Structure 1
Amino acid sequence: MMAEKKRGGYFWRCIRDIMRFMPLLFWGKLFTSIAEGILRVWQPLLIAEIFQMAPALNDVNISIFKRKIIFLCVCTGFPSVCTILLRAVGLYGECRKETFYGREMYGFARRIRLEALEDKKVLDSFRKADAAYSQHLAGSRMFSYLLMDVEAVLTCISTLFVVGSFSVWLLAGGILGIVPHLLLDLISERRRNRVYRGQSAKRRRLAYLWRLFCMKEPVKEMRTMGFQDYLKEKWVETNVDVVQEMEELELKAVRLSALGVLVRNCCYVANVAVALLLMLRGELAPGQFAACLMAFGLLQDQLFMLSSYVVALIQSYHHVEEYYDFFQVETEDAGGEDYHSMREGRVTGERDSIKEGCAAGEGDSNHSPDRDSSAENGIRLRNIRPAENGIRLRNVHFRYPGAEQDTLNGVDLDIGKGEHVVIVGANGSGKTTLSKVLTGAYSAASGEIRYDGQNISKIRKKELYRDISLVPQDFVHYHFSFRENICVSDFEAMSDGERIRKVTDAVGMQELIQGIGGLDVQLGREFGGRELSGGEWQKVAIARGLFRDSELIVLDEPTSALDPLVEYEVLTGFLNLIQGRTSVVISHRVGICRHADKVVVMKEGRVVECGTHEELKGAGGEYARIWGEQAKWYL
């Protein structure tokens, strides 16, 4: 799921992005860094010349002396002035940076293939990219350290040039002070990066375990079941492993750094001794000796800063790599062909109600799976359009990343336009995966899926998704208002009160809405709202799916949190509301199959049976076995 990485171009890609979203800060910082690096070196030269001129001032050289004093003041004050100006520009740049990096990352996340999120490498990549953006500031920090390195390098080179102009021996000592210290720091950083990258899986596990202690449902379960100490030990063990690895690494880094500092200080002492000897021999004037001492101090400071900035630059570049690595995840093919909606020629015939009040009066029929057909329960099946006018799957295969075998193994299925289909089967038979592939959320590895003859792998996904509504098994509890929870699936119709009423009536939520104070009440305790039960949240999710005016609606285990009486009421309201629309329901409970136009039975990733409830029940196959097993609970 990860495309081939192209890290070599990340540096220049990052620079181009920075120039794009904050050009003023880019050029301003670049200019001032170069200017500061050059002007700082003039200070020891000017001081040496001022010391030499001071004893012999006269009317001829006094103007030159004054100019040198002014230039020295400029060299000293220019960095401070630039810092103040760039700080103001930097505030604007920081705001732009937050907008740019966040927009780019999450805009890209919307386009990645959903099945890629099943790959742990992709999840690691996403975590690293998010940390690189939100915690390590990605490219903006790398750019800042790059300019600091440029400034430090220019200062060191210029200082070495100044010192070397006094004596070649001083030049050799200065170079020996730079190279060993820098190399040792680079070795430490290389080790640090290797260990950090190797800890990615452990750090993700640490974050996961920590979240368990901060979320209501896991905390409630672990306290009730008494395994909080076990999870604590797992967190401690993982944390200790990570900390021990980092401690060993940092101890090695400290030893190498101490060796580098020792070499640097020895070179500094040697340079001072050589300069003193040259002055005593008359090869250096006292002013030049003072300039050398100042240059040596400046060189020491810049060497320390240079090694620190180079290490920081490498660290920040590693974060830049992690940020841009995320953009190598495979994206969803948006498709190029126009999509002709299945709404064209939508089935307009309605189911005929046999008798009034069936939802309330016949509710007990749902208690036993072994009751009569749907006609007895008030719903009569009508003729369905042929499958070629609906959805057709042919030899569809799908395999999750890292899996050894296909989850879907050659699925063939026809769903007629306006048809109500229920898919049943044991756990792991591929039902939920089929719903994801059917809707185009996951891309089939092979085979084809056609909507009214159109191959969904080639049509524009954005247009296709307008025709689909999905209520997943692991639906989301949105901590928004009641109205937003329902209408977010079609937010442009949020003010359509009549449409909201029909949907909430269909799933039996009017009493709940009135009880909590209306549609605009905040839901969820996250922001001080009203918390709902599991069954109530599931009703909200079903209402959200129904509210979307789509041609196809897919529900995965839509009533798993509802008791049988409420399940019957909700499903009856659901079927009555979606007349003329195509529906696919994934369910473990076979009671709903009596109301379906077609029942599809899956086993080991294949469709093993397909027909009506009565046909499959009488066939004595897999469906009859499942029906019989569930009937034992009601007889």
Structure 2
Amino acid sequence: MSKGRRMSNSKIFLKLIKYTWRASPLTFSALIVASLLFSVLRYSEIVVLQSLFSNILEVVKGSPYDIMIKPILAILIILILNPVGEWLEFLAQGYFWRRGNGYMQSLYHDRINRMDLIDYEDVENFDDFKKASLGNGEAPNGIRVIVQILFLYIPFILITSLYMISIKPMLVFAIVLIFIPVLISELIKMSNNYDFEDKIANRRRKTEYFESCIVSKENFKETLINGAFNYFYSLFVDSNKEFSKAYVHVKNKLLKVAIVMRIINTLGYLCVLALLVYYLYNGSISVSQFGAIYYSIEKITSMLKGLIEDIGEALVGISSTSFLIRFLNEEKEIEREEELSKADDIELRDVSFKYPNAKEKSLSNINLRIKKGTSLAIVGENGSGKSTLTKIIMGLYNPSQGVVQYGDKNIINYSNSSKFSNISAVFQNFIKYKLPAEDNIKISNISSQDSIENASSGINLSFNDLKINNETILSREFGGQELSGGEWQRIAIARGLYRPHDLIVLDEPTAAIDPIEEANVFSTFKKLSDDKTCIFVTHRLGSTQIADKIVVMENGEIVEEGTNQELIDLKGKYYHLLESQAKWYER
């Protein structure tokens, strides 16, 4: 995963415009129309009120009352249209946020789906994911504010400023004193917010993790039995203090800036009032103009305040969204989207692999050929590289060096969807989905009408024996039923068998099953996957004799390979492991 640079606000803005327009062109247009309507209504109030003030003075001087009818009717129309405009704006904002948020989430989730598994092994990437996820909600809100700035605030402020310039140009300069300081303050806030989120993401993730060790269902059992509540609570408190300390430091800095800018802002407002009084005193403006200008200043000040607050909200939103935009736009090599056959020989040539930030290689100089339709057992002690090798074979990891080929095709050049089609796997740490029992098995092909019977019967999985049916939720959390570890393993194995495959991998998924049952499961897999390529990873060597070929791993290297009998006759690593395990069952 490439590390993107900080993007400019203009690029983020253009990207957001594109994304939010794609989310819903109709809603985008509706928000623009509603914003323009409000802008026109606000300015119309000023014009109509000046006309009303002028006519009132004329009536006082003896003019007929009927000259009041038009401005009064205009005010009534504005009063009626105002709630209509507010209602349209409210609807437009709501739909705009929901559509935009949903679309941005879909982009984020799609980007996650296209990531490589190795990205999750790099701690910096976790921080990037966390920061990018913050932008999901902020993105549409930020662009919504920007649309309203462009089509509500700016048109109103510009046309009202022109109105004031036509009367007294100096008034506009005084209004600038109101606007500029707070804008500077918000720009400083945006910069500090970006830097804060960029630096604190790792601390935020740690704080959330320590809290999960206390309150999450998955961790509560061991936390309780180990009496570790106080330990994790102290870690949570200390981590939260560090987070709060950084947060308070940023807020104190921003508060000092805000106080200075607010003083300048207040001085600007006082200057405007002083000028108005001065112009009225020397006769430069009439009483009706004074009333209209004072009202317009109140309006424009209110709009400026709203504009500044919204700019601040937009800038903060953009600073958070920048992480998401950067994440969405990270360059990724173009990969081929086409059929990649798994029904061919698999070959690894001079393959080495090292995890991010690791000092030593996990695999070194692996050369291996797996003939199509055969079974391979990978054995070795813990940490020997068995699981890493299977991930390399399946394409979950790309080798740091060397080549993995299906047939004559180097799989590194293909997309994830191409690499993983027609591959099935069952891992040791399989997922216990809190879903109906049938969906747990059909998860890889949920719309399939094929029965789960073939996948479940071969491994002695019977819903009747488990006292569940296809619709039973496998979680008490959602009103269903919990299964034992061994029962869950059968569900997971049935899931692996159900998925269409030409290559299937069992990476030690049978830890909760006794050795005899494990051997039966492997035999069943081999039988049900006839003419398919099967790979078994196990630490129980009694199950490996069914495999056509066995490779023995040690310190990330293949130290022996051959059939069960060949390796026994060799009397090497495999033989000594087999002998040591045989003692487990001696009485």
* TM-score, structure 1 normalization: 0.84
Query: Match of 2:235, as an amino acid?
Result: K
The answer on 1:149 being equivalent to 2:149 is: yes
CA distance in 1: counterparts of 2:224 and 2:328, whole angstroms: 41
Cα deviation for residue 437 of structure 1 reads 1.4
Give 1:26's match in structure 2, choosing from 25, 28, 32. Answer: 28
1:435-584 map, 5 Å: 435-458=390-413, 462=417, 464-491=419-446, 493-496=448-451, 500-510=452-462, 513-584=464-535
CA distance in 2: counterparts of 1:22 and 1:487, whole angstroms: 34
The answer on 1:37 being equivalent to 2:39 is: yes
Q: Give the 3 Å change call, closer, same or farther, for CA 18–562 of structure 1 in structure 2.
A: same
Query: Match of 2:127, as an amino acid?
Result: D
Q: Deviations over 1:475-532 (max 9, x none)?
A: 1112222222223344455542xxx44433332323x642414444331223121111
CA distance in 1: counterparts of 2:72 and 2:144, whole angstroms: 32
Cα deviation for residue 303 of structure 1 reads 2.8
Q: Give the 3 Å change call, closer, same or farther, for CA 2–266 of structure 1 in structure 2.
A: same
- Identity among equivalent positions (%) equals 27
SS at match of 2:129: helix
Q: Give the 3 Å change call, closer, same or farther, for CA 452–580 of structure 1 in structure 2.
A: same
Alpha-carbon contact 2:425-2:504 (below 8 Å) kept: yes
SS at match of 2:584: coil
CA distance in 2: counterparts of 1:581 and 1:310, whole angstroms: 61
SS at match of 1:523: coil
Q: Give the 3 Å change call, closer, same or farther, for CA 246–551 of structure 1 in structure 2.
A: same
Q: Give the 3 Å change call, closer, same or farther, for CA 300–121 of structure 1 in structure 2.
A: same
Cα deviation for residue 285 of structure 1 reads 1.8
Alpha-carbon contact 2:459-2:494 (below 8 Å) kept: yes
Count of residue pairs brought into register by the alignment? 582
SS at match of 2:412: coil
Deviates more, 1:74-83 or 1:14-23: 74-83
Alpha-carbon contact 1:2-1:328 (below 8 Å) kept: no
Q: Deviations over 1:228-276 (max 9, x none)?
A: 2111111111111112222232233233323322222222223222322
Alpha-carbon contact 1:112-1:330 (below 8 Å) kept: no
CA distance in 2: counterparts of 1:93 and 1:278, whole angstroms: 45
CA distance in 2: counterparts of 1:548 and 1:174, whole angstroms: 68
Q: Give the 3 Å change call, closer, same or farther, for CA 461–206 of structure 1 in structure 2.
A: closer
The answer on 1:113 being equivalent to 2:116 is: yes
Cα deviation for residue 425 of structure 1 reads 1.9
Query: Match of 2:155, as an amino acid?
Result: L
Query: Match of 1:579, as an amino acid?
Result: D
Alpha-carbon contact 1:485-1:544 (below 8 Å) kept: yes
The answer on 1:414 being equivalent to 2:416 is: no
Q: Give the 3 Å change call, closer, same or farther, for CA 155–422 of structure 1 in structure 2.
A: same
Q: For residue 364 of structure 1, what is the aligned residue in structure 2?
A: none
Q: Give the 3 Å change call, closer, same or farther, for CA 337–289 of structure 1 in structure 2.
A: closer
Alpha-carbon contact 1:112-1:332 (below 8 Å) kept: no
SS at match of 2:585: coil
Q: Give the 3 Å change call, closer, same or farther, for CA 53–573 of structure 1 in structure 2.
A: closer
Deviates more, 1:35-44 or 1:480-489: 35-44
Query: Match of 1:13, as an amino acid?
Result: K
Q: Deviations over 1:102-134 (max 9, x none)?
A: 33332332222222222233322323333322x
Point out where structure 1 has 5 or more consecutive residues left out of the alignment.
343-388
Q: For residue 607 of structure 1, what is the aligned residue in structure 2?
A: 558
CA distance in 2: counterparts of 1:565 and 1:336, whole angstroms: 42
Alpha-carbon contact 1:513-1:519 (below 8 Å) kept: no
Q: For residue 13 of structure 1, what is the aligned residue in structure 2?
A: 15
Q: Give the 3 Å change call, closer, same or farther, for CA 174–481 of structure 1 in structure 2.
A: closer
Cα deviation for residue 597 of structure 1 reads 1.9
Alpha-carbon contact 2:441-2:491 (below 8 Å) kept: yes
CA distance in 1: counterparts of 2:302 and 2:96, whole angstroms: 29
Q: Give the 3 Å change call, closer, same or farther, for CA 519–66 of structure 1 in structure 2.
A: closer
Spell out structure 1 runs of 4+ moving beyond 6 A.
58-64
Cα deviation for residue 5 of structure 1 reads 4.6
Point out where structure 2 has 5 or more consecutive residues left out of the alignment.
none
CA distance in 1: counterparts of 2:196 and 2:414, whole angstroms: 45
Query: Match of 1:314, as an amino acid?
Result: L
Q: For residue 85 of structure 2, what is the aligned residue in structure 1?
A: 82
CA distance in 2: counterparts of 1:604 and 1:258, whole angstroms: 63
Q: For residue 385 of structure 1, what is the aligned residue in structure 2?
A: none
Query: Match of 2:385, as an amino acid?
Result: G
CA distance in 2: counterparts of 1:20 and 1:78, whole angstroms: 30
CA distance in 1: counterparts of 2:163 and 2:372, whole angstroms: 85
CA distance in 2: counterparts of 1:461 and 1:251, whole angstroms: 47
Cα deviation for residue 470 of structure 1 reads 0.6
Cα deviation for residue 620 of structure 1 reads 3.7
Q: Give the 3 Å change call, closer, same or farther, for CA 291–460 of structure 1 in structure 2.
A: closer
Q: Deviations over 1:41-85 (max 9, x none)?
A: 343344334323333359999777544444444555544322223
Cα deviation for residue 413 of structure 1 reads 0.5
Cα deviation for residue 334 of structure 1 reads 4.5
Alpha-carbon contact 2:23-2:99 (below 8 Å) kept: yes
Query: Match of 2:209, as an amino acid?
Result: Y
CA distance in 1: counterparts of 2:30 and 2:447, whole angstroms: 45
CA distance in 2: counterparts of 1:146 and 1:532, whole angstroms: 52
Alpha-carbon contact 2:508-2:537 (below 8 Å) kept: yes
CA distance in 2: counterparts of 1:547 and 1:420, whole angstroms: 18
Q: Deviations over 1:270-295 (max 9, x none)?
A: 32223223222222222222223223
Alpha-carbon contact 1:485-1:540 (below 8 Å) kept: yes
Q: For residue 178 of structure 2, what is the aligned residue in structure 1?
A: 177
CA distance in 1: counterparts of 2:454 and 2:155, whole angstroms: 73
Deviates more, 1:221-230 or 1:595-604: 595-604
Q: Deviations over 1:154-202 (max 9, x none)?
A: 3334444434444344333222222223212322332233112211111
CA distance in 1: counterparts of 2:543 and 2:330, whole angstroms: 40
Deviates more, 1:537-546 or 1:402-411: 402-411
Alpha-carbon contact 2:189-2:254 (below 8 Å) kept: yes
CA distance in 2: counterparts of 1:612 and 1:505, whole angstroms: 29
Q: Give the 3 Å change call, closer, same or farther, for CA 513–296 of structure 1 in structure 2.
A: same
Q: Give the 3 Å change call, closer, same or farther, for CA 489–332 of structure 1 in structure 2.
A: farther
Q: Deviations over 1:78-97 (max 9, x none)?
A: 44322223434555545533
Query: Match of 2:237, as an amino acid?
Result: V
CA distance in 1: counterparts of 2:337 and 2:441, whole angstroms: 32
The answer on 1:262 being equivalent to 2:263 is: yes
Query: Match of 2:403, as an amino acid?
Result: E
Q: Give the 3 Å change call, closer, same or farther, for CA 568–261 of structure 1 in structure 2.
A: same
Cα deviation for residue 327 of structure 1 reads 1.5
CA distance in 2: counterparts of 1:160 and 1:493, whole angstroms: 65
CA distance in 2: counterparts of 1:318 and 1:552, whole angstroms: 45
1:62-101 map, 5 Å: 66-75=69-78, 77-101=80-104
Alpha-carbon contact 2:19-2:104 (below 8 Å) kept: no
Cα deviation for residue 225 of structure 1 reads 1.0
Query: Match of 1:52, as an amino acid?
Result: S
Q: For residue 106 of structure 2, what is the aligned residue in structure 1?
A: 103
SS at match of 1:275: helix
Cα deviation for residue 224 of structure 1 reads 0.6
